[in-house]
Amino acid sequence: MARKSYLDLKKEVWEVNLCTGCGACVAVCPADSIYFGDKEGSTHPCHNEYCKEESDHVLCGACVEVCPRANISLHGDPLGTYRSAIQARATFDIPASQSGGAVTAILKNALDKGLLDAVIMVTEDPWTHRTSSALLASAEELVRHAGSRYSLGSPLLAALKEAVITHKYSRLGVVGLPCAVQAARRMKVSRHPLVKPFGNAIRLIIGLFCTESFDYRCLVQEKLTGELGIASWEIRRFEVKGQLDLTLMDGTVKSIPLSEIEGCVRPGCIQCIDFAAADADISAGSSGAKKGYTTLLISNEIGEGFYRSALLSGLLEEGGEAEMAAVKRLAERKETRPRKRGRDSDR
């Protein structure tokens, strides 16, 4: 099989707008040559053109190995395989919780008990709602940064480099959208010598239900602020359930049809058919759960162990089986929606 390098990634993923912006390639590049620049609206990483494979003829290809768009994984069922579907909620107060706070409860318990060294997740500036990937090593930080983010574009897995190389963490939790989950799973199963240290360090993968994510500049700056006159600081929370609901600081809710913001969907999301993060140990979302609860799909023994540990600690409580018909409808809708092969240029 021909050896591949970032040039293949550039041609097959970046230049045709299939990149998800997950940041996996940034993490595993041994030369630190792949990075996300400061350009607003960028849909893929940059490269400084030094590559061990191309420049020094040293076997590499780590970036291609972990890319979820260069290596498409398909599951027979749109929800993947799971052993249980449960409604659950945190038993403690989480100020910014989007639904039941079950994911935060599971992770808090894991950090408290030393099951995890740290958690990699997306955090948000509450003033601008601009997101960034973060490495959180304390339960207090975790609870403070809880909540869902819809105007993403942050290279979540890029934080793995700091976690594994700088801090030498070996028990990491990763919380991300399906694209990042796919990349994290590829790291877990890879035998590539440059990728294995990252895969070995990941202990728990939690995926978040996702129909699509939005470009920050397009959604927040151009659409909400520019066209609708809603300043970022006026928004308390975002929620997508068939429409975009904005809860403002004064308690009012502004609803926006998804058809009005479809132009803000990140290009790499257009090709995705994975709603429930089928490669995760635990998948989570508000669909299929009653108000104040989170739907949890437990996929394997690892997910079961972390879930049961939180239950036994009293940080999590069950609320019955999840209503899977609602979850499946959204998954099938995403799997069958019209697609096109990338876009002509970056936003």
Check residue 96 and give its pLDDT. Answer: 74
CA distance 220 to 233: 11
Task: List CB contacts of 131: < 8 A, sequence separation 6 or more.
Answer: 122, 123, 124, 125, 149, 151, 152, 153, 154, 216
Please check whether residue 155 is in contact with residue 133, taking contact to mean a CB–CB distance below 8 angstroms.
yes
Q: Determine the angle formed by the axes of helices 301-313 and 102-113, rounding to 10 degrees.
A: 80
One digit per residue, the tens of pLDDT, for the chain of length 347 reads 467 888 999 999 999 989 989 999 999 999 999 998 766 557 788 898 888 888 888 889 999 999 999 877 666 677 888 999 999 999 999 887 778 999 999 999 999 999 999 999 999 888 998 888 999 999 999 999 887 665 556 789 999 999 999 999 999 999 999 999 999 999 999 999 999 999 999 999 999 999 888 888 899 999 999 999 999 999 988 887 778 889 999 999 999 998 899 888 888 888 888 999 999 999 999 999 999 999 999 999 999 999 999 999 999 999 999 999 999 998 988 888 765 543 333 32
H/E stretch holding 240: strand 235-240
In the sheet that holds 316-321, the strands lie side by side as 131-136, 118-124, 172-176, 202-208, 282-285, 294-298, 84-90, 316-321
What pLDDT does residue 274 have? 92
Looking up tokens 């300043």 gives 231
What's residue 341's pLDDT? 40
Smallest CA-to-CA distance from 279 within 167, 202, 333, 216 is with 202
The reported pLDDT for the residue numbered 71 is 77
Helix (H, G, I), strand (E, B) or coil at 9: helix
Residue owning tokens 């027979």? 76
Compute CA distances 186 → 62, 94, 104, 193, 195, whole Å. Answer: 11, 32, 24, 13, 9
